[in-house]
Amino acid sequence: MIYRDFQDLKLSALGMGAMRLPVIDGDDSKIDVAASEDMVAYAMEHGVNYYDTAWGYHGGQSEIVMGNALKKYPREKFYLATKFPGYDLSNMDKVEQIFEEQLKKCQVEYFDFYLFHNVCEMNIDAYLDEKYGIYDYLMEQKKNGRIRHLGFSAHGSYDVIKRFLDAYGENMEFCQLQLNYLDWSFQDAKAKVELLREHNIPVWVMEPLRGGKLASLSDENTAKLRQMRPDEETPAWAFRFLQSLPEVKVVLSGMSNMEQLQANIRTFEKEKPLNEEEMKNLLSIADSMLEKKVLPCTACHYCVSHCPQGLDIPELLSLYNEHCFTEGGFIAPMALSSYPDEKKPSACIGCRSCVAVCPQQIKISDAMEYFAQKIGM
């Protein structure tokens, strides 16, 4: 197992994410406890020492299952992370109640790592609102030793992350970011990593395989990878990409069965970062994947000046592309929930003034109509 230095700790470069544990009969709230405990045992035996859970994973059952699985081991042998569930605005005034309950569910006296969960457009105002006292409470728990390291996870835009860092960055020790070779450009992950580097904040990675989309590629793209490294499995390329980024400390993978866990552990037995040519070719493959599914908006903003509704069309098309490529997901609806109704896709009146000036000849009005129907906004 590869280990990374973080302050005075040595963290396994592969962390076990507990969001996609094995379940019974396809029911996400019914975790297969025996299979999950076997996976934790195997991970511990093979050097994985970082375990990540959260209040809402598996309908609230993940923390309980991970607590039961890890209590069999000496407390100093593993690092446990969980999060304050600010993705649900109704939780904002319950930070103390939730934190105390999490300690009980996980059967621990402290958390090694604790995060503001999912800093995004929808909740940034609430996270920064002093009336809820979330930041002050968590800093107090850190002072009391009940939180050893405080950080945040983010699915939000660059601007949202910057706003959060401007407020709290001085005391944030790490950031958990959706990062993979597809999102390096698609989700502006490269710029986000650079922003975190400016603040001297290391990166924890979530969604290294983009929800499984990078675990299996087209025959054409698979052949391109095999030509460069004949013995490297397709999913391993996502991890090799991350091993090439010095800012990355821990890569979290939500593994659903023993085979996935074993394969990932094999990948993290040795460091095999990409060389310059491999990196270039891999990012080219990512571009080709996006070209087939997304609209080619270059954010020239010609359309914006001609829109009678004053819509931020490039931003809406960016969210449209995310939603279409992911074939759903929560990121676009989450972001749009912070928009006023008059700025959502449904506000488009179909006048096609934007289409007339688009250098890429994108049928923007049609895209807005389709997008509004798909997400109901």
Please give the structure tokens belonging to residue 203.
């990166």
The alpha carbon of residue 338 and the mean position of all alpha carbons in its chain are separated, in whole angstroms, by 19
Per-residue pLDDT at 48: 98
Domain that holds residue 23: 3-283
CATH of the domain at 185: 3.20.20.100
Q: Which residues of 189-200 are buried (b: 16+ CB within 10 A; e: fewer)?
A: beebbebbeeee
Give the C-alpha separation, 148 to 249, whole Å: 17
Indicate whether 216 and 363 sit together in one domain. Answer: no
Please give the structure tokens belonging to residue 256.
């659903």
Per-residue pLDDT at 257: 95
Indicate whether 67 and 184 sit together in one domain. Answer: yes
Please tell me the total count of domains within the chain: 2
What pTM, to 2 d.p., does this model score? 0.85
Per-residue pLDDT at 331: 87
What's the count of helices (H) and strands (E) in the chain, helices before strands?
17, 12
Per-residue pLDDT at 92: 96
Residues of the chain with confidence (pLDDT) below 50: none
Give the C-alpha separation, 54 to 62, whole Å: 7
Per-residue pLDDT at 321: 87
Beta bridge partners of 115: 83, 151
With DSSP H G I counted as helix, E B as strand and the rest as coil, what are the percentages for the chain, rounded to 5? 50, 15, 35
Indicate whether 220 and 81 sit together in one domain. Answer: yes
DSSP summary character for residue 88:
S
Per-residue pLDDT at 357: 84
Structural domain includes residue 9 = yes
Indicate whether 272 and 319 sit together in one domain. Answer: no
